[in-house]
Structure 1
Amino acid sequence: MKLLYITLSISLVCIPVTADRPCAPREFGSGNIVCVCNMTYCDTIAKLSAVPADQFVQYSTSQSGLRFHKTVGSLVDSPHSTGIRFTVNLTATYQRILGFGGAFTDAAGINIDSLALQVKQNLMRSYFSVDGIEFNFGRVPVAGSDFSTHTYTYDDVPGDANFTHYNLTLEDFFYKIPLIKEAQQLSDRRLHLVAGAWTAPPWMKTNDDYSGFGFLKDEYYQTWADYLVKFLDEYKKQGIEFWGISTGNEPINGILPVNRFNSMGWTPHSQRHWIKHHFGPALKKYHCSVKLLALDDQRFMLPWWINILMSDKQVAEYIDGIAVHWYWDTLFPPSLLDRTHNNFPDKFILATEASVGDKPWEFEKVKLGSWSRGESYMEDILEDLNHWVTGWIDWNLALNPQGGPNWARNFVDAAIIVNTSANEFYKQPMFYALGHFAKFLPEGSVRIGLQPQEEKGVLAVAFQTPDNAVIIILYSRSDYDRRVTVTVSDTRHINLDIPKRSFHTVITGKVN
């Protein structure tokens, strides 16, 4: 059996290397640091060339102010005698990575477009270019969401089942489509787009409203399927094709009478019927290469919702993957992901939405430079990846300092906050948490064995990339500096410094 042993700890071998373009920091209270980008400056992180077999590269972000700080070191003959030890097993392989990204909401488009051209380009490069964090996924709402300035669908004329009045809107032509095309042009990676609808037009629903307690009327099951297919058609006419589409955003919200933003309720049984007899056949007939993602809702709905859908073999054939949101992950264990994977190992699990500041008790919706919010992203991504999730898509790519615009006043935080009046934007710790994964885990990377996954407040996950490099991603939530040793073989070791409250990505050379 071929093992790759990895341990992380202090070493004098590490040599600081000047970053490509370092963070321009601005502090909002102790330890709450953003990186400021404007007309003349924005921090960057260069694409890493192949690492020699006898070296490693470490990128570090910390509460004390490091942002993708790069160090290069050599492998040494012996590990440290003390400290945390992680062991990686190359022969134990798990899920294949699809990728990471964010959402092209109306709000994101409005904020990004409010910046001067050079600043806007800096923002888009930060997310999608080779000197940014190289997102390869984009989520696209079908028509409006709460992160729009008003409620709308693509056909709000009551009873228009023939779609005589169906049309894309100004939001598509001014914001979504131009930004998607810019992201595609900037990226060296293929950009995978995932569509999802928040609600059908009110006239198709039992409550005749965009939100609240309401379901799709039985007589409009096929009409709604055709509506979604037509969305894919219309975007294809604009030169944009989708990788996937979900069965609908957060179906549980339409069952909650207190819900205040765009939603449409389903039960798993009614959704199973709709997929089997309407949407599944329509999608297969007209857009057979577009993947169908089920659920698009919270972890606590696993695996029971999926069990009900998959109980019909024909429905199971239509479904390619399972989309999950993060909002109550701290209350529901990741073992629900394991159970879902074990039940349906041929269906990928993809995290498709996350944001902070959404809870009623979180009165400060945007907290500039919040390290704790960056930690919440880092921990959730690590946990998901250690439990069969294949990728992680953030919510809005950019919001304003209020956390909007949002017609329902459902304001939240974002990885990038745009300050239009100053013609600048702020990269939050959440942005760097995302980047520690997105930048270094190309599509096709495979999670490999790692023991333990947590020790003394340091969490870790390991991958092998398509070019056989080994990636270790670590998060220290400890209030103390830690020694960690990464053992590549019995006589080759990587020794690292892990400061308190920090994120790290470690890349070793090619391992055969």
Structure 2
Amino acid sequence: MKNTKYLFFTFLSFMIISCDVQKEKLVVEVYETSASGNNLQKLENFSADENQENTVKIKLFPKQKKQTITGFGGSFTESTAYLLNKLSKENRAKIIEAYFGESGAKYSLTRTHMNSCDFSLSQYSYAPVEDDKELKHFTIEEDKDDIIPMIKDAMKVSKDGFRILSSPWTASPWMKDNKKWVGGKLLPEYYDTWALFFSKYVTAYKNEGIDIWGFTVENEPLGNGNNWESMHYTPDEMTNFVQNHLGPKLEADYPNVKILGYDQNREHLKEWIDSQYATEATSKYFDGTAIHWYASTFHYYPEELQYAHKKAPNKYLIQSEACIDAEVPVWKDDAWYWKKEATDWGWDWAPEKDKHMHPKYAPVNRYARDIIGCLNNYVDGWIDWNMVLDTKGGPNWFKNWCIAPVIVNPETDEVYFTPLYYTLSHFSKFIRPEAKIIGLENSDKEIMVTAAENPDGTIAVVIFNEGENKKNIELSLNEKEINVNLNKQSIQTIIITN
């Protein structure tokens, strides 16, 4: 009898101990976009079997704080704003709410162009009068029909507001050595005039009730194949212009406006970083660096990104432009955006040595992979290109067709939110400005994961499964955990609220 009692109490003690060591459940919300049809769908039934084999273990370490997030968003181009003007008031409002409203993507970081670019209806400059060194005839009249009204409407629906980064594609042709819109360099005699141009732009937009957060010095200073508006700098030429002209001018007139250098593809990032941050004097006016993704359809250049961070850990590192280029949009066919059908400029035009960097790659995969790769390598902001394009991939005066997350047919007043819109929303809606990227461990190399702690204390975990196999995720934070089903070809944002 004594032995029976002993065994009973031993078993009871074991059960109590077992219950004690069971981890408490995390309280989470799960949102999914998938090839199977979910578009930022909040999942009500996401639990997975805790005892399933081959469970992917993701551990979060919120004490390991990394970069501070500046924001996510897209670009106000003349093409986008022009198309919104062609739609019904209802659809115009629907798109602006979808990008900037509380029910939408909540964009927090945006970009626009100074003077015209390829996604303009024509070529124009705010300084059209030749040899106007004092810019007495400076005017932003060209923007008042489309870009400025769109920005103002976005401001009305944005609860938290958003930052605007402005980029010139070229100075006025009369300021350049070749006197053309395309290519050429800024003549030294106009360096101060061009610096004044930036200051006058801030003033003109401020007079419209719009604050400019920052500038990139030049969109694609290495050029774009002599196709559309461009102006060339070497790294040292740009550093000289910022150090001795643009920096001092903005410091005097608008000291809080940021200056970002470079603004082109990541494979050349190191040489620009070395020039910008060579000395304390060269570094003084650079608040950070801007980059693009067009060097590859799949590679996000982690070594170059880490190099930039280590060289200037307290400076911004912002992805300022990305799109599925050299493609005409596919209309109302979500499945296409999940398939390896899309090419880019490099498929046809890259040098032979670089062809391997430009395979066909699924558009959704490209976005998700790049954003997570960037966030895990110290990028603090990520900006898409056009927010809206038409079914041809324009309008674009050069016929440089591209894809936007939202496609419209102004003739029929139809709107198509592609899976790219929902992919971007997984980040912009749930990872807010001033969030901190945090450390994590991921046991499965087939999936990509990033995580950020928001200012309100919530943690957003974004998981991307490019593969054809469903995954069981065991997500743990401190002494709490939860098991979540991750569908094949899917993106999930998991919001941890406790």
Normalized against structure 1, the TM-score is what? Answer: 0.84
Paired amino acid for 1:394: D
Q: Deviations over 1:201-255 (max 9, x none)?
A: 001101110113x1001111111111111111111111111111111111010xx
Partner of residue 29, structure 1 = none
In 1, distance between residues paired with 2:490 and 2:388? 24
Give 2:382's match in structure 1, choosing from 392, 400, 412. 392
**SS across alignment from 1:297:** strand
Unaligned runs of at least 5 residues, structure 2: 1-23, 339-361
User: Any runs of at least 4 consecutive aligned residues in structure 1 with deviations exceeding 3 A, and if so which?
Assistant: 72-82, 329-332
* Aligned pairs (5 A) from 1:287-436: 287-329=254-296, 330=298, 333-358=301-326, 364-368=327-331, 369=334, 370-371=337-338, 372-436=362-426
Once the two structures are TM-superposed, the CA of residue 480 in structure 1 deviates from its matched residue by 1.2
Give 1:183's match in structure 2, choosing from 154, 159, 165. 154
Answering whether residue 496 of structure 2 is matched by residue 501 of structure 1, we say no
Once the two structures are TM-superposed, the CA of residue 81 in structure 1 deviates from its matched residue by 4.9
Contact 2:61 2:477 (8 Å CA) reproduced: no
Partner of residue 233, structure 2 = 266
Give 2:103's match in structure 1, choosing from 131, 134, 152. 131
Partner of residue 473, structure 1 = 462
In 2, distance between residues paired with 1:186 and 1:179? 11
Paired amino acid for 1:507: I
Partner of residue 19, structure 1 = none
Partner of residue 343, structure 2 = none
Contact 2:26 2:481 (8 Å CA) reproduced: no
Once the two structures are TM-superposed, the CA of residue 75 in structure 1 deviates from its matched residue by 9.0
In 1, distance between residues paired with 2:25 and 2:195? 52
In 1, distance between residues paired with 2:49 and 2:91? 47
Partner of residue 163, structure 2 = 192
Paired amino acid for 1:238: E
**SS across alignment from 1:399:** strand
Give 1:90's match in structure 2, choosing from 48, 59, 62. 62
Contact 1:56 1:73 (8 Å CA) reproduced: no
Contact 1:53 1:509 (8 Å CA) reproduced: no
Paired amino acid for 2:306: D
Relative distance call for 1:201 and 1:84 in structure 2 (3 A) is same
**SS across alignment from 1:389:** coil
Paired amino acid for 1:373: P
In 2, distance between residues paired with 1:151 and 1:53? 58
Once the two structures are TM-superposed, the CA of residue 76 in structure 1 deviates from its matched residue by 10
In 2, distance between residues paired with 1:97 and 1:331? 22
In 2, distance between residues paired with 1:53 and 1:286? 54
Partner of residue 23, structure 1 = none
**SS across alignment from 1:251:** coil
In 2, distance between residues paired with 1:74 and 1:455? 19
What's the C-alpha RMSD, in Å, of the aligned pairs?
1.9
* Aligned pairs (5 A) from 1:220-231: 220-231=190-201
In 2, distance between residues paired with 1:65 and 1:135? 24
Q: Deviations over 1:263-316 (max 9, x none)?
A: 000011111111111100001100111111111111112121121122142231
**SS across alignment from 1:110:** helix
* Aligned pairs (5 A) from 1:101-140: 101-140=73-112
Partner of residue 26, structure 1 = none
Answering whether residue 243 of structure 2 is matched by residue 280 of structure 1, we say no
Normalized against structure 2, the TM-score is what? Answer: 0.86
Relative distance call for 1:79 and 1:99 in structure 2 (3 A) is farther
Once the two structures are TM-superposed, the CA of residue 323 in structure 1 deviates from its matched residue by 0.8
Paired amino acid for 1:477: E
In 2, distance between residues paired with 1:76 and 1:162? 67
Paired amino acid for 2:328: K
**SS across alignment from 1:93:** strand
Once the two structures are TM-superposed, the CA of residue 365 in structure 1 deviates from its matched residue by 2.4
Relative distance call for 1:418 and 1:76 in structure 2 (3 A) is closer
**SS across alignment from 1:144:** coil
Contact 2:243 2:284 (8 Å CA) reproduced: no
In 2, distance between residues paired with 1:155 and 1:196? 15
In 2, distance between residues paired with 1:413 and 1:311? 38
Partner of residue 244, structure 1 = 214
In 2, distance between residues paired with 1:315 and 1:181? 36
Contact 2:300 2:373 (8 Å CA) reproduced: no
Q: Deviations over 1:127-170 (max 9, x none)?
A: 00000010012211012111011111112222121223221133
Partner of residue 457, structure 1 = 446
Unaligned runs of at least 5 residues, structure 1: 1-51, 359-363
Once the two structures are TM-superposed, the CA of residue 54 in structure 1 deviates from its matched residue by 4.9
**SS across alignment from 2:402:** coil
In 1, distance between residues paired with 2:38 and 2:203? 45
Choose between structure 1 and 2: higher helix proportion.
2
Paired amino acid for 1:176: I
Contact 2:49 2:472 (8 Å CA) reproduced: no
Relative distance call for 1:436 and 1:316 in structure 2 (3 A) is same
Partner of residue 484, structure 1 = 473
Once the two structures are TM-superposed, the CA of residue 435 in structure 1 deviates from its matched residue by 0.2
Once the two structures are TM-superposed, the CA of residue 193 in structure 1 deviates from its matched residue by 0.7
Q: Deviations over 1:57-82 (max 9, x none)?
A: 10001011111111247999966553
Point out the structure with max Rg over C-alpha: 2
Identity of aligned residues (%): 31
Give 2:177's match in structure 1, choosing from 202, 206, 211. 206
Contact 2:25 2:481 (8 Å CA) reproduced: no
Aligned length: 447
**SS across alignment from 1:300:** helix
